[in-house]
């Protein structure tokens, strides 16, 4: 096991009816800016529940944070927060609203151009405190310090991390997720699954507990995925998926093990250039990454084949082939296509290795050997 540090201060408030608890979680002496997305919370009842819980507090609203939250939109919220001297942010929505809120939290007290936090890895020395009501399980953003933001002007999608933007609290009521449509639901499962794979499928460092904790999430998602498609309004299934998504990226399974975020980084470029959903990019890139990097990941791929897919047999290569095929088929079974051609994408892929190089992401991989040429190979395997 490698040395590590781990802490996660977010208070999770999980279960049916938990939005009502906002009333005791929200600081009463602060000026609150509540942020949300396209307005779906006004159709599914969440907005009303939040309004009820906020009664008696001093708050403003800012709607319209889009999927893959845009820098340009976030800057409008920053302006409002500064003008109104807001000192607490409440995100109500999915991972995109929350990522936008984290960026706004860091940007409000930031002295220079906030985009430097993403593009130049400028240090976040201060951030507004924030909490969230999560309505879509997928990103794990409700219990971590990551945020991914896109910028129209430069056509970029970049990430930052700061311990200062962990939500103080995260309210997770699985009942509000039963209104998600099949695409949102499937995307959430693929996203959580991919988060686990990025932390699990590297090389072995003798960390059997972390391996099994990762497998626990994968096995549960494989089990619950078909159930939620068959019975979208089953509370228990929704609860299990929601708790899997949080555990997939709250830092625990990353303790003491190497990580490889190659698939995510290539995926971000596909979203920036072609507008694919984040999870669609992961469903396309992950099988290709595993096929290209199977030698690096051989031992863990075999463990994955045996323990997660229950595969048996004596040929390691065949086990690995089957495990990757099963992974791809799992994504497809959820209705998420796994090849670029299926999304109508054929041209311009050669820009991606170049862009990753220019934004300082290369080399990638748990061994630092994923360079432009390897990214090109992976993209070729994504094509058809």
Q: Among 272, 290, 288, which residue's Cα sits nearest to residue 341?
A: 288
Instruction: Work out whether 232 is an interface residue with a copy of itself (CB under 8 A).
Output: no
Which is nearer to a copy of itself, 84 or 236 (by Cβ)? 236
Which is nearer to a copy of itself, 70 or 303 (by Cβ)? 303
Residues 6+ apart with CB under 8 A from 322: 305, 309, 311
Which is nearer to a copy of itself, 69 or 167 (by Cβ)? 167
Instruction: Work out whether 231 is an interface residue with a copy of itself (CB under 8 A).
Output: no
Q: Which of 19, 81, 252, 320 binds a copy of itself (CB under 8 A)?
A: 252
Neighbours of 80 (CB within 10 A): 17
Instruction: Work out whether 7 is an interface residue with a copy of itself (CB under 8 A).
Output: yes
Cβ–Cβ < 8 Å for 128, 108: yes
Which is nearer to a copy of itself, 17 or 344 (by Cβ)? 17
| Least gap, CB of 383 to a copy of itself (angstroms) | 35
Instruction: Work out whether 312 is an interface residue with a copy of itself (CB under 8 A).
Output: no
* Residues in 170-229 that interact with a copy of itself by CB under 8 A: 206-210, 212-213, 215-217, 219-220, 223-224
Instruction: Work out whether 255 is an interface residue with a copy of itself (CB under 8 A).
Output: yes
Instruction: Work out whether 12 is an interface residue with a copy of itself (CB under 8 A).
Output: yes
Instruction: From residue 106, give the alpha-carbon distance in Å to each of 32, 33, 140, 145.
Output: 15, 14, 19, 11
| Least gap, CB of 136 to a copy of itself (angstroms) | 18
CA–CA separation, 220 vs 285, rounded Å?
A: 22
| Least gap, CB of 332 to a copy of itself (angstroms) | 23
Contact segment (CB under 8 A) with a copy of itself among 13-21, 30-38, 346-354, 369-377 equals 13-21
Residues 6+ apart with CB under 8 A from 157: 68, 148, 149, 150, 151, 268, 269, 271, 272
Q: Which of 130, 244, 249, 356 binds a copy of itself (CB under 8 A)?
A: 244
Contact segment (CB under 8 A) with a copy of itself among 80-88, 239-247, 331-339, 375-383 equals 239-247
- The arrangement of strands across the sheet holding 169-172 comes to 58-62, 31-35, 88-93, 130-134, 169-172
Instruction: Work out whether 309 is an interface residue with a copy of itself (CB under 8 A).
Output: no
Instruction: Work out whether 6 is an interface residue with a copy of itself (CB under 8 A).
Output: yes
Q: Residue count at the site for a copy of itself (CB under 8 A)? A: 41
Instruction: Work out whether 9 is an interface residue with a copy of itself (CB under 8 A).
Output: yes
Instruction: Work out whether 24 is an interface residue with a copy of itself (CB under 8 A).
Output: no
214-249 b/e with 16+ CB inside 10 Å = b?
Answer: bbebbbbbbebbeebbeebeeeebbbbbbbbbbbbb
DSSP secondary structure letters along 185-231: HHHHHHHHHHHHHHHHSS---S-HHHHHHHHHHHHHHHHHHHHHHH-
| Least gap, CB of 143 to a copy of itself (angstroms) | 9
What number of residues does the chain have? 384
Q: Which sign, positive or negative, has the C-alpha torsion 111, 116, 120, 125?
A: positive
Instruction: Work out whether 2 is an interface residue with a copy of itself (CB under 8 A).
Output: yes
Q: Which of 115, 146, 243, 331 binds a copy of itself (CB under 8 A)?
A: 243
DSSP 108: T
Residues 6+ apart with CB under 8 A from 296: 202, 203, 365, 366, 367, 369
| Cα angle 116-122-127, degrees, rounded to a multiple of 5 | 95
Q: Which of 96, 177, 247, 296 binds a copy of itself (CB under 8 A)?
A: 247
Instruction: Work out whether 26 is an interface residue with a copy of itself (CB under 8 A).
Output: no
Please report, as ranges, the residues that interact with a copy of itself according to CB under 8 A.
1-18, 206-210, 212-213, 215-217, 219-220, 223-224, 236, 239-240, 243-244, 247, 252, 255-256
């Amino acid at each position: 096991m490698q040395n590590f540090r781990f802490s996660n201060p977010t208070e999770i408030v999980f279960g049916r009816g938990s939005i009502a608890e906002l009333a005791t979680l929200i600081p009463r002496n602060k000026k609150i800016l509540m942020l949300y997305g396209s307005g779906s919370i006004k159709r599914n009842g969440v907005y009303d529940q939040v309004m009820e819980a906020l009664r008696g507090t001093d708050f403003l609203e800012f709607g319209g944070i889009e999927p893959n939250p845009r820098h340009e939109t976030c800057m409008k919220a920053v302006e409002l927060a500064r003008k109104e001297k807001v000192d607490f942010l409440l995100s109500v929505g999915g991972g995109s609203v929350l990522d936008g809120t984290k960026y706004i939290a860091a940007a409000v007290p930031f002295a220079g151009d906030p985009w430097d936090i993403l593009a130049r890895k400028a240090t976040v020395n201060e951030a507004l405190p924030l909490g969230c009501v999560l309505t879509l399980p997928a990103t794990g953003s409700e219990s971590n310090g990551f945020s991914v933001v896109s910028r129209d002007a430069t056509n970029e999608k970049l990430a930052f991390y700061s311990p200062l933007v962990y939500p103080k609290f995260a309210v997770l009521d699985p009942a509000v997720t039963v209104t998600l449509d099949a695409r949102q639901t499937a995307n959430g499962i693929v996203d959580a699954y991919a988060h686990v794979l990025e932390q699990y499928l590297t090389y072995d460092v003798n960390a059997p507990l972390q391996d099994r904790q990762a497998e626990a999430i994968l096995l549960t998602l494989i089990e619950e995925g078909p159930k939620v498609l068959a019975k979208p309004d089953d509370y228990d299934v929704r609860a299990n998926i929601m708790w899997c998504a949080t555990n997939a990226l709250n830092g625990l399974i990353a303790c003491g093990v190497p990580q490889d975020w190659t698939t995510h980084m290539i995926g971000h470029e596909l979203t920036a250039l072609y507008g694919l959903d984040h999870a669609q990019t992961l469903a396309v890139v992950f099988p290709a990454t595993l096929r290209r990097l199977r030698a690096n990941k051989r031992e863990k791929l075999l463990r994955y084949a045996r323990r997660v897919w229950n595969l048996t047999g004596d040929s390691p290569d065949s086990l690995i082939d089957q495990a990757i095929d099963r992974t791809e088929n799992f994504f497809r079974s959820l209705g998420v296509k796994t090849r670029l051609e299926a999304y109508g994408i054929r041209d311009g892929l050669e820009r991606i290795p170049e862009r990753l190089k220019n934004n300082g992401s290369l080399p990638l991989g748990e061994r630092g050997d994923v360079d432009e040429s390897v990214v090109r190979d992976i993209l070729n395997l994504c094509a058809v």
